[in-house]
A and B are shown apart, each in its own frame.
Chain A
Amino acid sequence: MRVTTISDLARPSLAKGVRLQIDSTTGKSVLLYPEGIVELNETAHEILSRCDGRTLVEIVRELAEEYEANSNALAADVRDTLSDLQQRKLIEFK
């Protein structure tokens, strides 16, 4: 597997052609893209709904405050999730 290092100052955003939406059947959030649908778990939803120009550190700080979580562990989770979505071309970094 390719190791990707994501900078603290990277600004994740949805890739072109990808939409984040609530699935009205389940109430869960989904990513829609050409001929594909990904159902998001709560962690991914919380991360992606903040991918609007904020930097990685900002996203981690907010989540750590909201969930009273250890920010080092959380940063690793966020990086893993974003890296997985980047490899699937669902998000990009600016």
Chain B
Amino acid sequence: MTVPRPYALLAEITYRCPLHCPYCSNPVTVESAVPSGGQAGPTALRTAHATANNGELTTEEWKRVIREAAALGVLQIGFSGGEPLARRDLAELIRAAREAKLYTNLITSGIGLDDDRVRALRDAGLDSIQLSFQSDESSLADEIAGARAHERKLDVAAKIRAAGIPLSLNFVIHRRNIDRLPQIIDLTEALGAERVELANVQFYGWAFRNRAVLFPTRKQVDRARDIATAAKARLAGKIDIFYVLPDYYDTRPKPCLNGWGQRYLTVNPTGDVLPCPTASSAIPDLHFENVRSHALDWIWRDSESFNRFRGTEWMPEPCRSCPQREIDFGGCRCQAALLTGNAANTDPVCEFSPNRATVDALLHQINSSNGQVHDWTYRVNPTHVPVPA
């Protein structure tokens, strides 16, 4: 099989984050989960020093990863997390990425972005910022974030605009904010963003744990789709609106990653290289290689983890003989693992999957619960990952 070249690297440079969004796709850390109603802290970011090989990658290690990724064919890098601003060396990493001719995106909550830092990132060559919001107004947004963040984000959006950096907004849409979609789109317009991603929550990591409370009803989803379609037409040429569908309500799976090991790779804070950011927690029986032990080129081309679901050879029926197999690639491996216990199964969202009943049972439960209120569990920071000095 010819191994394709990757186009984009997601650099998850830290799992530390001042927000506690219950829909976070980061791996769930079990040691100190906080139920809603309780205090969502502590927000203090850890400053322990890295020891041996279990801590966050150092600046020099990230720079090497960036150079190796560029040599492999990568053209775009997204700095993400956690909150990437929690790394004091972010500007230095952006500079290294620009030197390697990569297009640089920062995917951020905006918390910690003051005037000096915005300028430093711009001067390092940052091409674009994607700023997250939780809703259109403070009370709900801050409740979702588990922190006082919304007003600061409004201020940060203005700072980004003033610095002349292209601005995209990102809203994760779920049961608690989906009915605010018109106001959310108004906010995007008011903030002068060039692009907005209205992404229905995908159920991985913390979001998988909080599925019962985050899942929108069919009625909500239908209404939201109409609103998004109308807004897209109204704002065409002014704001690009990307509406990410809630795949459980679909009958065909999403073409996850455009195929495993085809275009994307993720490096997590401690250097594990993943075909998909959620793979390490969703598919625990797959061993992922680390940049501290192997060259990125070998991991991408030759490692077991990148080849396990590459192409179509691994596919079971009904995918193997399906005319859609090169269109949706059998859907999402993480979703198959989370819902059926086996990552090699057809994504159970597919109407031809023998496990579709699992999804239907869940939809039935969500749509017949008569607005029953559940509590969610706020995301907490991992406490076992040492941070470089």
Contacts and interface: CB of A to CB of B under 8 A. Distances in A.
A10 to B, nearest CB: 15
A23 interface: yes
B168 A37 contact: no
Given A17-B166, A17-B194, A23-B75, A35 B105 contact: yes
Residues of A contacting B: mostly: loop
Interface residues of B, number: 21
Interface in A30-88: 30, 32-35, 37, 87
Contacts of A2: 236
Given A16-B166, A17-B127, A25-B5, A32 B103 contact: yes
A32 B75 contact: yes
Contact of B76 (A16, A24, A25, A37): A37
B117 interface: no
Contacts of B194: 16-17, 34, 89
A21 interface: yes
B110 to A, nearest CB: 16
A86 B1 CA distance: 38
Sorting the interface of chain A by its residue count into under 10, 10 to 19, 20 to 34 or 35 or more gives 10 to 19
B46 interface: no
A25 B73 contact: yes
A24 to B, nearest CB: 8
Residue of B8, B101, B103, B130 contacting most chain A CB atoms (<10 Å): B103
A84 to B, nearest CB: 13
Nearest to B103: A32
A37 B8 CA distance: 10
A9 to B, nearest CB: 21
Residue of A17, A19, A21 contacting most chain B CB atoms (<10 Å): A17
8 contacts: A16-B194, A17-B194, A25-B73, A32-B127, A34-B194, A35-B76, A37-B76, A37-B103
Nearest to B102: A32
B237 interface: yes
